[in-house]
Amino acid sequence: MSIQCPLCKSDQVITLDQGKKIGAVVGTVGGAASGIAGAMTGAASGAEFGVTVGLVAGPAGSALGGLAGAIFGGLIGAATGGITGAKLGEVVDQRVLDNYNCQSCGISFSRGSSDPAI
């Protein structure tokens, strides 16, 4: 099913996915921050990774292990946060934002909108 422009009835309509893009960025940054924070406090899997590396490498390597854990935790947090943020943004796109843009007349509108924002 193709989306039709409510104003000019053109089917040259694209999705903007702004919420999805913003959500992915916010989720990635927030996820990385919480992942690192989790690794620092020992709550995240990144910390466990750091402790394991530290134990294997010995007491001298625990600082290095902690750093690796923080990086590892940050990466995991960024990946999961980015996915979560993108999903949240997708919901915002579908329900809140004018996610559709007509390539013929240039208006943006949301699905089911009977009152296009010109």
Distance in angstroms (rounded) separating the CA atoms of residues 79 and 71: 12
Which residue stretches of 43-61 are H helix? 45-57
Which residues of the chain form contacts with Zn ion (CB under 5 A)? 5, 7-8, 10, 102, 104-105
Neighbours of 81 (CB within 10 A): 24
- What 3-state class would DSSP assign to 24? helix
Least distance CB 101 / Zn ion (angstroms): 9
Q: Of 12 and 94, which CB lies nearer to Zn ion in the complex structure?
A: 12
Q: Of 5 and 47, which CB lies nearer to Zn ion in the complex structure?
A: 5
Q: Of 62 and 101, which CB lies nearer to Zn ion in the complex structure?
A: 101
Least distance CB 8 / Zn ion (angstroms): 3
Least distance CB 7 / Zn ion (angstroms): 5
Q: Which residues touch 49 (CB under 8 Å, ≥6 apart)?
A: 65, 68, 69, 72, 73
